[in-house]
Amino acid sequence: MDTVHIFDTTLRDGEQSPGFSMNREEKLRLARQLERLGVDIIEAGFPIASEGDFEAARAVAQEVKDSRVAALARAYLPDIDAGLRAIEPAAKPRLHIFLATSDLHLKYKLRLSREAALEQIGKMVRYARERCDEIEFSAEDASRSDIDYLTRVFEIAAEAGATILNIPDTVGYSTPEEYGAIFRHIAEHTRRFPGIILSAHCHNDLGLAVANSLAAIAAGARQVECTINGIGERAGNASLEEIVVALEVRRASFGVGTGINLKEIYATSRLLSEITGVSVAPNKAVVGANAFAHEAGIHQDGILKNPLTYEIISPQEVGVPARRLVLGKHSGRNALRAHLLELGFMTNDEELRLCYSAAMALADEAKQVTDRDLLTIVHQVRRGNIAAAKEPGINATAGD
């Protein structure tokens, strides 16, 4: 089975987004966890950006031994020299060079002609390759670049020594169909270069970062660039956990695997939240608080009978300690019975009926019933304080 290399850019693209800045020690903590997670490449930073970023990238390069360590550089000599110095101590270094290739960026941002950009790409990649064994080249804003020009860009980069060619959807503009077509086109026109790996780097401006990344993989990409919790510029990057879990769950469809240790996903997500102080949304796929939580009675009843009814992967497989059967106004009696058992109470049918009635009445007011609430209710039932409880109305979601 083919392997997709996971390129984690949490420490670079993720960290440069507002609210997610990390200092040297915080980057080192996260880098160690990323290595335990099993990512293939850790992009440690953008060394030319600041002295602090340079030192942090160099510290990661010194510390990490199993994962490859990359540093980002524009296709300019000072950037490349700074990047090379930063990754010098790495056991497995990579320099990641980029230059914009869309006419919009060339004209308004770089003020370069197409030919001048080609010359600069060839010159800088060649210079870097003479000093580092592994070079990745990214064509910034590739998804809005003229396809024939983009093809020529990658041919020049490959001729100069780049073996990883990254096709970024820099502003999250592309759709899966369009993005996959770009990869198929570039793959067809770079076959003559041995050992070339095509890489996807997607942003989430239209909510399509993961879908586009998966489309690229289906079209032949064998590296995907992503971040923990999907953090990154503007609406974020493609989420590492969503991509690798999708490839695992739909392995038969994609026919590829990764080297990621799925059981470390949740711990990595929590560590990033702890370091940055930014929690993920409750409904975030895979790692959100509600990803393995069930309130609807029909769902709870199904989960109790067979978890596969409503979970396509178990929480333990991604490091989540356990699923949660949340007690609220949509819950059913089977979930309540199971929850009471977990708290040490075996109830008969009448006790369960009374507990359920009281719990649903409370849920209508409080939205969620806590363990402490349940303890109070069951004690009151057994003391006869809720003996005259009113049976609640028909609950269409009870499932039992």
Pairwise CA distance, residues 326 & 323, whole Å? 9
Please state the pTM of the whole predicted model: 0.90
Q: Which two tokens stand for residue 253?
A: 């469809």
Strand ranges in the chain using DSSP code E only, listed in sequence order: 2-3, 5-8, 41-45, 68-74, 93-100, 135-140, 164-169, 197-202, 223-226, 256-257, 293-294, 324-325
Please say whether the dihedral angle defined by the alpha carbons of residues 287, 289, 292 and 296, taken in this order, is positive or negative: negative
User: Among 254, 240, 255, which Cα is nearest to 40's?
Assistant: 240
Sequence-separated (6 or more) residues with CB below 8 Å from residue 200: 166, 167, 168, 169, 179, 183, 212, 213, 216, 217, 221, 223, 224, 225, 238
What contacts 148, CB < 8 A, 6 or more positions away? Answer: none
Q: Does domain 2-276 have CATH number 3.20.20.70?
A: yes
62 by Cβ neighbours in 10 Å (0-12 / 13-18 / 19+) ranks as middle
At residue 2, the 3 state secondary structure works out as strand
Cα angle 389-390-392, degrees, rounded to a multiple of 5? 125
Confirm if 229 and 268 have CB atoms less than 8 A apart.
no
Measured CA to CA, the distance from residue 265 to residue 263 in angstroms comes to: 6
Domain ranges of the chain: 2-276, 295-382
Q: What is the pLDDT along the chain (400 residues), one digit of tens a residue?
A: 799 999 999 999 999 988 899 999 999 999 999 999 999 999 999 999 999 999 999 999 999 999 999 999 999 999 999 999 999 999 999 999 999 999 999 999 999 999 999 999 999 999 999 999 999 999 999 999 999 999 999 999 999 999 999 999 999 999 999 999 999 999 999 999 999 999 999 999 999 999 999 999 999 999 999 999 999 999 999 999 999 999 999 999 999 999 999 999 999 999 999 999 999 999 999 999 999 999 888 998 899 999 999 999 999 999 999 998 888 888 889 889 998 998 999 999 999 999 999 999 998 888 789 889 999 999 999 988 876 444 444 344 444 4
Task: Give the integer Cα–Cα distance in Å for 380 and 354.
Answer: 10
